[in-house]
Structure 1
Amino acid sequence: MIIHLRTTTTRLAPRHLCHTAHQNAMRYALPHRTANHTFHKHHFTTFTGPSASKDIPEDIATFFTFWPSYFSNHEQRILLSSALHRLDSMDSNRPSVPETDDLQQLFASDDLYDFHEGHYDGVIHHYREMHLTSWPVDQFPGLPPVLERLYALCPSRDVQTHLLHLASHGEILPHVDNISASGSWILGVSLGDERTLRMTRPDDKRQDFELSLPSGSVYLQKDQVRYSYEHSIDPKISGVVGKAQRMSIMVRVSLQSLSLSYACLKRPGSTITTTRQQPMS
């Protein structure tokens, strides 16, 4: 079964973008996968509000879209609670998630989590993570419509979802993701502490920029920006005393889809189309 999607560009702020057909195609555990995969290129209107336009250089705005307040406080609480629920199921300490409207209070103290000191590649410090195979929709009845809004922003339909929980002093050092393992785009949801995303271009420091990521914000990197810039997350925002934990929900093209795309692009008569572009050299 191939589901064909029609995407339109709207002049409304990205928070109000509505891809009805795309939402209907999404399932709440993970987006549905079929034997035949068709990828469709979506066009997004870059947010031009005051919190985004001053930080994103015009020459890369085509490849970097930012929604500074995409999720409401209620939606953030549902997403964070469900993400912590899944991560805590793997944690030997299994701290309980309290019933509170304060988003920061959903996190337990740092010492109650089994945070890893460093990632195998040395990029991430003081964190825990998991590749999500399903969302706990049975435990969180309000989760499905929030997931629909999340996955509606994805440029392609078959995706993999990754949860990354940073400790209060956790950080992500500058790096470029592995090309063969993550595709031409990545979408990131920020929950919890507001951190600074730094984008640095090794071959031209004049193109560097940084962006504050408040809780509830979403960004989409793709194509040239994806692989010509190193990205990093600071342990805290400059000038702010005290630190807090942060949850990231990262969505990428699925590894299965990437493998199928490469195989079928080499095979004459393939029905698979893809918007994947080779990174800039």
Structure 2
Amino acid sequence: MIILNRCSPIRQILRRCHTEAAACSKVRSPLTAFFGKWPESEQQEFVQHMRIIPDFITESEEQQLHEEVEPYMNRLRYEFDHWDDAIHGFRETERKKWYPHNRDVLERVRQVAFEGAIMPYIHVLDLAADGVIKPHVDSTRYCGTTISGISLLSDSVMRLVRTDAQKYQQPVTGTVTDAKSADSDAVYGHRRFPEALLENGFYADLLLPRRSLYIMCHTARYNFTHEILSKEHSTFLGTAIPKARRISIICRNDP
């Protein structure tokens, strides 16, 4: 468990965020750091299409979400051989039915992040402390314009790197035959790995505080790889961000 004291760098960053009207703000967030030579128009689009709302849920709501998913997650083992090599050190499931108080939280996500309905199955991704999500572009075939996620248990750093994403939207060769994989993010993701080299382009690091909500849509979703930095590389603007076990509650809309 990560406890932030009042003088911690993360707490200082978060304090600046509380004045931001996060759901509709066009102001650059102090939780986003830009690197490289961004075209001004593209940076403005990115600010609108990649948002972070700190303290989206309370400590009590975090505990309630965690208590609902933990009994099932504890029956699973962490995996290190994801079918397309996108994730290491993870376990995952999907849930359609939620306790009433957690349904209320998910409805709040829908209202803030989506312009309509969300897919009925909510993806729960449990990333171990030493787990990593590698750079990838999610397919447009299995989910729509928007992906949003609530971060439980740990802070983390997400990196988005500009790339030519269109050529990575073709289906991978082979067939997903495992029933568990067929119901998982493997099908939704259908991930490919672009050559998104930092030295040849521009990118952004985003601090995802515990209990925050990120909203990735439109150009941020289509034109950038995204990844969760490993424990060894988890820094934001030169500050180490301790990465522990992280559970994300992920909502999507239909293609």
TM range (shorter): 0.5 to 0.7
The more displaced of 142-151 and 76-85 is 142-151
Q: Secondary structure at the match of 2:131?
A: strand
CA shift at 1:55, angstroms?
5.5
Q: Following the alignment from structure 2 to structure 1, what is the Cα–Cα distance between the partners of residues 106 and 30? A: 25
Aligned residue for 1:46?
A: 25
Q: Does 1:148 align with 2:134?
A: no
Aligned residue for 1:224?
A: 219
Instruction: List per-residue Cα deviations over 1:47-101 (Å, max 9, x = no partner).
Output: 748533655943411212220221121211112222223434xx1xxxxxxxxxx
Aligned residue for 1:161?
A: 122
1:60 is aligned, of 37, 41, 46, to: 46
Q: Which has the higher contact order (CA 8 A, sep 6+)?
A: 2
Q: Does 1:214 align with 2:173?
A: no
Residues 47 and 66, structure 1, Cα contact 8 Å, conserved in 2: no
Q: Following the alignment from structure 1 to structure 2, what is the Cα–Cα distance between the partners of residues 167 and 53? A: 24
Aligned residue for 1:6?
A: none
Letter in 1 for 2:202: Q
Aligned residue for 2:93?
A: 130
Instruction: List per-residue Cα deviations over 1:10-55 (Å, max 9, x = no partner).
Output: x9723xxxxxxxxxxxxxxxxxxxxxxxxxxxxx513748533655
Cα distance change of structure 1 residues 242 and 210 upon mapping to structure 2, 3 Å threshold: closer
Cα distance change of structure 1 residues 52 and 213 upon mapping to structure 2, 3 Å threshold: same
Task: Give the gaps of 5 or more residues in structure 1.
Answer: 1-10, 15-43, 92-112, 259-281
Q: Following the alignment from structure 1 to structure 2, what is the Cα–Cα distance between the partners of residues 244 and 12? A: 27
Q: Secondary structure at the match of 2:64?
A: helix
Aligned residue for 2:73?
A: 87
Aligned 1:199-210 pairs, distance under 5 A: 199-202=160-163, 205-210=200-205
Letter in 2 for 1:153: V
Cα distance change of structure 1 residues 194 and 241 upon mapping to structure 2, 3 Å threshold: closer
Letter in 1 for 2:117: R
Q: Following the alignment from structure 1 to structure 2, what is the Cα–Cα distance between the partners of residues 206 and 46? A: 26
Q: Does 1:252 align with 2:252?
A: yes
Q: Secondary structure at the match of 1:232?
A: strand
Q: If the length of structure 2 is used for normalisation, what is the TM-score?
A: 0.65
CA shift at 1:186, angstroms?
0.5
CA shift at 1:240, angstroms?
3.8
- CA RMSD, Structure 1 to Structure 2 (Å): 2.7
Q: Following the alignment from structure 2 to structure 1, what is the Cα–Cα distance between the partners of residues 118 and 45? A: 29
Cα distance change of structure 1 residues 170 and 187 upon mapping to structure 2, 3 Å threshold: same
2:21 is aligned, of 9, 13, 17, to: 13
Cα distance change of structure 1 residues 154 and 85 upon mapping to structure 2, 3 Å threshold: farther
What is the number of equivalent residue pairs in this alignment? 189
Instruction: List per-residue Cα deviations over 1:231-270 (Å, max 9, x = no partner).
Output: 000122236486410001111124xxx4xxxxxxxxxxxx
The more displaced of 150-159 and 226-235 is 150-159
Percent identical pairs in the alignment equals: 26
CA shift at 1:153, angstroms?
2.3
Aligned residue for 1:176?
A: 137
Aligned residue for 2:154?
A: 193
Q: Following the alignment from structure 1 to structure 2, what is the Cα–Cα distance between the partners of residues 196 and 154? A: 20
Residues 176 and 230, structure 1, Cα contact 8 Å, conserved in 2: yes
Task: Give the gaps of 5 or more residues in structure 2.
Answer: 1-18, 36-42, 165-195
Residues 154 and 209, structure 2, Cα contact 8 Å, conserved in 1: yes
Greater Rg by CA? 1
Letter in 1 for 2:92: E
